[in-house]
Amino acid sequence: MKITNLRCLLLPAQKALLLRIDTDEGVYGWSQVEQNKHSYLAPQILHCKPFLLGLDPTDVENCMRRIRRLGAFKPWGGAVSSIEIALWDLAGKAAGLPVYKLLGGKVRDRVRVYMGGPPPFTPHVPYSAGGDRPEDYYSRTKARRERGRGIGIMKTAVGFHDNRWRQVDGYHYGIAYAHGETLSPTARATGGIAEVAGMVTERGLAHTVECVAAVREALGADVAMALDCGPGWKVPGAVEFARRVEALRPLWLEDLVTGDYTPYVGADLYRAVKQQTHVNLHTGEQIYLRQNFRELIETRAVDVVGPDPMDVGGLAELKWVAEFADLHGILMAPHGIGDGPFGLAALVQVCATLPDNYIAFELPIVGEEWRGLVTGIVEGMVEDGFVRVSDAPGLGVDIVEEEVRRALGTAEIYLGHARTGTPA
């Protein structure tokens, strides 16, 4: 079996960039990139095509050795990582086996999720929109919990990860970057998250703690509270924030120092925070490749790592990080890839194989706009906070091309045709 083509499919309504690998035997594999990368990663994905043509796609590691050097920290590892996942989908279909069988076999039949996004085809209440008052956090959290269908862990954006900080006068001592067209395309795509850093003021700190208290009250005693905090905090502010929220029992504080679109690890800074606090620290979604997790894990700079399979280098890379973390007593809670069915399916498959340090993965959003375009993702598949592991070949998810053609209004749905004018 040989790779004959690598193509991209852009779905504007879903804000999704999909990729497909084809072979001379008619077997194919699908994957996608994270939602915020849908508008600019196609050229990088297609740049990898010449390195893969003619290779046996079931030799996943051999294929990856040709293209790993073409990736980098988030967002640029997204292209290489997504290709790796498509290779596993293809290899599973060729063997007639689910991907988890190719990764060593499952150790759990159901995989726990935490609520970043709601269950598939459920109305979405964003965790980072609306008013900035504590009562706004309370009402928004209540609405999200009602849509959670038994999910026992909910993550909420606070601090620099939550753009509502811009509505609080004198929130921090750092640079308040401008909005709109003066931001870089990446910053606009991520709401400016990558453009913010500084020491939080007493006013900003007190406001954030009040909002966290409102979230805690809305969740009640039976739902764990995870907080997505940054990146951008400086060590003194991070330490003080962790100490003030400790009594509110957060499951973890995520990305206080580094995180989205930060091109380095900062293990020493996390270690400085950890040595002065008693709250679990979590990071890792932006990190590309296992080598860049080494210091973070070996020095026990954090309590939980959260690589994203579509940023870290793929499913096999994520599993290696999980195993290495387990050797060092570090917990694992993978990041959730933004939105989309292939991200959800990929996480279910790999997390079924992870060791006992696994907590839960962040549930990607699969909204109503996907209904009818994809098979293998169904309403009600999240039950009591778990997803049952699919035994279908590959990832267990496929695209209904006729429905995609109807939705796009064209027979030529792949980039490179007249519809886009971009290279094939």
Q: What is the pLDDT of residues 248-292, one digit of tens each?
A: 999 999 999 999 989 999 999 999 999 999 999 999 999 999 999
Tokens of 190: 């991520």
- Over the stretch 224-258, which tens digit does the pLDDT of each residue have? 999 999 999 999 999 999 999 999 999 999 999 99
- Over the stretch 80-139, which tens digit does the pLDDT of each residue have? 999 999 999 999 999 999 999 999 999 999 999 999 989 999 988 888 778 899 999 999
What 3-state class would DSSP assign to 162?
Answer: coil
Tokens of 134: 């504590």
DSSP labels, 248-300: G-EEEEE-SSS-TT-SS--HHHHHHHHTT--S-EEE-TT--SGGGGHHHHHTT
CATH fold group of domain 3-96+399-408: Enolase-like; domain 1 (3.30.390)
Average pLDDT, integer, range 155-173? 88
Q: Can you give the pLDDT at residue 181?
A: 43
287 — phi, psi (to 5°)? -80, 135
Residue 163 binned pLDDT confidence (cut-offs 50, 70, 90)? confident
Cα–Cα distance, 37 to 60 (Å, whole number): 24
Span 102-394 CATH architecture: Alpha-Beta Barrel (3.20)
- How do strand 374-375 and strand 398-399 relate by DSSP bridges? antiparallel
Percent of the chain's residues with pLDDT above 70? 93
Q: Can you give the pLDDT at residue 418?
A: 37
Type of residue at 206: A
- Domain boundaries of the chain, sorted by first residue: 3-96+399-408, 102-394
Residue 421 binned pLDDT confidence (cut-offs 50, 70, 90)? very low
Q: Which of 26-35, 59-68, 172-181, 187-196 has the largest mean confidence?
A: 59-68
Q: Can you give the pLDDT at residue 290?
A: 98
- Give yes or no for a cis peptide into 231 (omega within 30° of 0): yes
Cα–Cα distance, 277 to 222 (Å, whole number): 24
Q: Can you give the pLDDT at residue 351?
A: 98
Tokens of 8: 């991209």
Contact indicator for 106, 100 with CB cutoff of 8 Å: yes
170 closest CA partner among 143, 202, 135? 202
b/e code 86-104 from CB counts within 10 Å (16+ = b): bbbbbbbbbeeebbbbbbe
Residue 423 has pLDDT above 70, yes or no: no
Token pair 């973390």 in the structure block, residue: 325
Residue 177 binned pLDDT confidence (cut-offs 50, 70, 90)? low
Angle 19-21-25 from CA coordinates, rounded to 5°: 155
Q: What is the mean pLDDT of the chain?
A: 92
Half-sphere exposure of 297 (CA within 13 A, CB side): 23
Strands (E) across 2-66 are located at: 3-11, 16-23, 28-32
Cα–Cα distance, 181 to 342 (Å, whole number): 32
Residue 383 has pLDDT above 60, yes or no: yes
Residue 169 binned pLDDT confidence (cut-offs 50, 70, 90)? confident
Q: Can you give the pLDDT at residue 180?
A: 44
Angle 121-128-280 from CA coordinates, rounded to 5°: 100
> Helices 341-351 and 77-95: crossing angle, nearest 10°?
70
Residue 182 has pLDDT above 80, yes or no: no
End-to-end CA distance of the chain: 22
